[in-house]
Amino acid sequence: MKVLGNLGGVRSPSELGRKLEEHDYLADEGLAVACFLALRMGRPLFLEGEAGVGKTELAKTLAKVLDAPLIRLQCYEGLDAAQALYDWDFPRQLLHLKAAETAGVRDVGKLEDDLYDRRFLIRRPLLRAIEEPGSVLLVDEIDRADDEFEAFLLEVLSDFTISIPELGTIRAERPPVVIVTSNRTREVHDALKRRCLYHWLEHPSHEREVAIIRRRLPESTELLAEQVATAVHRLRGRDLLKPPGIAESLDWTEALLALGARELDPGLAAATLGAVLKYREDQQAALADWGRRPG
Amino acid sequence: MSGRDVTDTIVGFARTLRAAGVDADHERTRLMIRALGHVSAANRDEVYWAGRVTLCSTPDDLPRYDRCFAAYFAGETPRLARSAPPVVIVRHTATPVGEPGEQEEGESGLTPAGVSEVEVLRTRDVAGLTAAERDEVHRLLGMLRAGRMSRVSRRFLPARRGRLDQRRTVRAMLRQGGEIGVLHRRRHRRRPRRVVLLIDVSGSMAAYADTLLRLAHALVRSEPRATEVFTLGTRLTRVTAELRHRDPATAMTAVSAAIPDWSGGTRLGAELKEFLTGSRARGAIVVIASDGWERGDASLLGDQMARLSRLAHQVIWVNPHKGRIGYEPLTAGMRVSLPHVDEFIAGHSLAAYERLARLLAGG
């Protein structure tokens, strides 16, 4: 029987939700059920959603809840096995070879074994995740990688084994908890999604967003959190190039707090707009809006 | 519920979902049944989420899932609306490329053309062709095999010349007991550059839409993994999957079924905006085939074209009317777009389409 993932003594989705909350991550019910099932069924969780809705943060928090190491693999085009899986430390192997030669080692078989010893193995994220029992593996922004990498990841996620010709097959004692995130700039292949549980992450509701701001930035006043959440909510409703996520709400609040603000006023909002809107067109649209509706 | 009941219920639910267009196949259904073993089946919300994370796989599935879930677990079979509006006004169903023999018997039309006839046909405006002549143009388009300009990939390939491939070189050295033997080299691999075709199928383009889609089919068939096709009209429709059929006639039938807004109006700006939010334009060659007849706000189109030109590798505008003598780009849509277009070419004849194919091949 397959060993189940690390449950950290969690018995129900709501309990997992509470544990996430203890670590300052406020998950809604859907996300709690999705995570719970991913843990229980030992399946990777495929999280899709706009940038800044807390996909990466979830993996970090989950690692804290499970008290497990977080291993992160940031994807990019051209990511290959040597970067994702393992590599040999060639310069050190050469040094070792030269040293052995100077010392006059004659036993060729032993020398070869020495050369491909584990200490010369550079472990990349996927191998580390397989070797560390019960770790949390975050495969971040899979949509940035290319199809070759997708195919390769699928292989690793199917049986959690990696074979290294010189060392043999390495099997996960306890498979890692896997979170795969995507910003959906590209459609990820169905075969990979099929291995995973799929969850589409929305922007948080207004109340939840206020709660998140208060929780993450306790020095902010209720009024400020409320105003920021309302303003951000309204910005999302507008047709912007890049609607702000929860990450932007937090950045914005932090910027306002740094200026000593206790509440949001148009002057402060305009001065700190760069924390929440990152396109000139979006900033202009927002300023025009606020100009029409002062306060 | 007993285990058997659960299975029956869920299998029925998955069938309902499939009918609504969600890809909830056997494997996913089994996954949901397994998932239900871990949540409390009496809790409606948990059942909802357990189903959603196992049966759905794209955001498009979510509204359908919600509808089916609400209906199915309220004890009724939901209305099986596969997708929104089934409005097909005129069937410009691409005339299938029949067997040459059939055509000869029927009308007095063209037999497969000889060299000189092809030459004449190549430069003629497709809007003015007889049905038989158009079939011939379509047949020739079906044979078009277009190359594709390439871009440098981040991946490496072993090569004769290029940068030193340290890993392979040292590896070979180790194998030979530390002696430097061959220096291995590597270079960046080249991949075909992605092309995105946006084809206007609104009323004013009716005479050309069919032929343009045939051209799209030829391009998709030449580079299936690096070509995307969307149609523009009153809404943006992705037709790449439909165009993957080998046979042009089958592909055209599938495409006409997929396009809900043949010969409607055009909202170029709004649709371009929708297309750009998917950021599928980044680094691609974007080809817009349209007469630039914008019903909506032309300034919106201008803004979107500016954004497109910043995202795309190259923007090519194909306008069927440009082939006419004395054509001036006077439509509002065309005027605001032109400053952001890298290549503005005609799109009315076989020769013009071949020129586009050469352009995409980097020639």
Helix axes B350-360, B206-222, angle to 10 degrees: 40
**Cα–Cα distances in angstroms (integers) from residue B345 to residues A78, B42, B276, B290, B355, in the given order:** 35, 63, 23, 11, 9
CATH numeric code, B195-360: 3.40.50.410
- pLDDT 10s per residue in chain A (295 long)? 333 445 667 889 999 999 999 999 999 999 999 999 999 999 999 999 988 899 999 999 999 999 999 999 999 988 888 899 999 998 888 888 888 888 887 787 788 788 888 999 999 999 999 999 889 999 999 988 888 888 889 989 988 999 888 888 999 988 999 999 998 877 788 889 999 999 999 999 999 999 999 999 999 999 999 999 999 999 998 888 888 999 999 999 999 999 998 889 888 999 999 999 998 888 998 888 877 654 4
The Cβ of residue B237 has, within 10 Å, a number of other Cβ atoms equal to 19
**Type and span of the H or E element at B358:** helix B350-360
Cβ burial of A17 (10 Å; 0-12, 13-18, 19+) is: buried
The Cβ of residue B40 has, within 10 Å, a number of other Cβ atoms equal to 13
Strands of the sheet containing B227-232, edge to edge, are B237-238, B227-232, B195-200, B285-289, B314-319, B343-346
- The Cα–Cα gap between A74 and A183 comes to 13
Tokens of B283: 């680094």
Residue of A nearest to B188 (CA): A78
Listed in sequence order, the DSSP H helices in chain A are: 13-22, 29-41, 55-66, 81-84, 90-102, 108-115, 125-131, 147-159, 190-195, 206-216, 222-237, 246-258, 266-271, 280-292
- The answer to whether the CB atoms of B278 and A185 lie below 8 A apart is yes
Query: pLDDT under 70 in chain B at which residues?
Result: 1-3, 75-118, 278-279, 363
Indicate the SS3 state at residue A145: coil
List A residues 30-69 in contact with B (Cβ-Cβ < 8 A).
Answer: 30, 33-34, 36-37, 40-41, 43, 45, 48
Residues of B in contact with A94 (CB under 8 A): 170, 173-174, 178
The contact set of B with A (CB < 8 A) is 23, 27-28, 31, 34-35, 38-40, 45-46, 49-50, 52-54, 56-59, 62, 153-156, 166-167, 170-171, 173-174, 177-178, 273, 277-280, 282, 303, 307
3-state secondary structure A26-65: CCCHHHHHHHHHHHHHCCCEEEEECCCCCHHHHHHHHHHH
Answer for the pair A246, A212: CB distance below 8 angstroms, yes or no. yes
- The answer to whether the CB atoms of B278 and A78 lie below 8 A apart is no
Tokens of A159: 């049986």
Residues in chain B, overall count: 363
Output the pTM of the full model: 0.75
Indicate the SS3 state at residue B42: coil
- The answer to whether the CB atoms of A13 and B53 lie below 8 A apart is no
Tokens of B290: 């349209």
**Cα–Cα distances in angstroms (integers) from residue A101 to residues A91, A106, A107, B235, in the given order:** 15, 8, 11, 72
Q: Is A215 on the interface with B (CB under 8 A)?
A: no
Answer for the pair B315, B276: CB distance below 8 angstroms, yes or no. no
* Residue A147 DSSP code: H
**Type and span of the H or E element at A138:** strand A136-140
- Angle A224-A228-A234 (CA atoms, 0-180°, nearest 5)? 145
pLDDT of residue B113: 47
Residue of A nearest to B61 (CA): A200
Residues 6+ apart with CB under 8 A from A244: A52, A232, A235, A236, A252, A276, A277
pLDDT of residue A2: 38
Query: Which of B23, B26, B53, B191 is most worth mutating to test chain A (most A CB atoms within 10 A of its CB)?
Result: B53
Indicate the SS3 state at residue A189: coil
The amino acid sitting at B247 is D
Q: Work out the mean pLDDT of chain A and round it to a whole number.
A: 89
Answer for the pair A47, A58: CB distance below 8 angstroms, yes or no. yes
Tell how strand B237-238 and strand B227-232 pair up: antiparallel
Indicate the SS3 state at residue B198: strand
List A residues 226-265 in contact with B (Cβ-Cβ < 8 A).
Answer: 239, 241
Quickly list DSSP for B218-272.
HHHHHSGGGEEEEEESSS-EE-TTGGG-SSHHHHHHHHHHH-S-TT----HHHHH
**Cα–Cα distances in angstroms (integers) from residue B311 to residues A237, B107, B245, in the given order:** 24, 49, 30
pLDDT of residue B306: 92
Tokens of B272: 């371009």
**B63 φ/ψ angles, rounded to the nearest 5 degrees:** -60, -35
- For B174, the closest of A12, A37, A115 (CB atoms) is A115
Rounded to a whole number of angstroms, the distance from the CA of B222 to the nearest CA of chain A is 19
The domain segmentation of chain B, as residue ranges, is 3-72, 151-192, 195-360
pLDDT of residue B80: 39
- For A37, the closest of B38, B59, B166 (CB atoms) is B38
- For B279, the closest of A36, A37, A185 (CB atoms) is A185
Residues of A in contact with B284 (CB under 8 A): none
Quickly list DSSP for B272-290.
HHHHHHTT--TTSEEEEE-
- The answer to whether the CB atoms of A34 and B62 lie below 8 A apart is no
- The Cα–Cα gap between B257 and B276 comes to 25
pLDDT of residue A239: 80
- The answer to whether the CB atoms of A77 and B153 lie below 8 A apart is yes
Tokens of B11: 């299998």
Tokens of B293: 């007849």
